[in-house]
Amino acid sequence: MNSCDFCTMPTARWLYIPQVRALAALMTDEGVVVPLPNDGRWKACDLCSDLVDTDDMERLIARALTTMRTLGVPLPDGGPDLEFMATVVMTNFATVLAGVPTKQPL
């Protein structure tokens, strides 16, 4: 079974291949640039696929964070730490949403 690259659920049925390969990185407080790893190809479950198709980044991030928390990933309860985590997730997701990705079944 394939895991969704957005919400991590083991129900991915779609593959997105960006036309424009965007690379994302974050800068630490010390000024070190840290690339966010991804191969440019994103697997998605039906629910996340609907959010990608409608370019609903807000709900896609919320779904990803909620699912991570449900699966036991330690996440901050709120405040700047959760905002930072949401920014990291959004930055990584934006790599597939740049341009119009090609969608195909897995």
Axis-axis angle for helices 57-70, 79-97 (nearest 10): 120
Does any domain span residue 99? yes
* Domain encompassing residue 80: 14-105
Q: How many CB atoms lie within 10 A of CB 18?
A: 17
Whether residue 55 is contained in a domain is answered as yes
How confident is the model over 10-63, as pLDDT tens digits? Answer: 999 999 988 766 666 667 778 777 776 666 788 999 999 999 999 898 999 999
Task: Report the number of distinct structural domains present in the chain.
Answer: 1
The pLDDT of 64-92, averaged and rounded, is 87
What's the rounded Cα separation, in Å, for the pair 27 and 32? 5
**What does the mean pLDDT of the chain come to?**
85
pLDDT value of position 21 = 64
Evaluate whether residue 97 is within a structural domain: yes
SS3 state at 17 = strand
Classify residue 1: in a domain, yes or no.
no
- Residue 77 inside a domain? The answer is yes
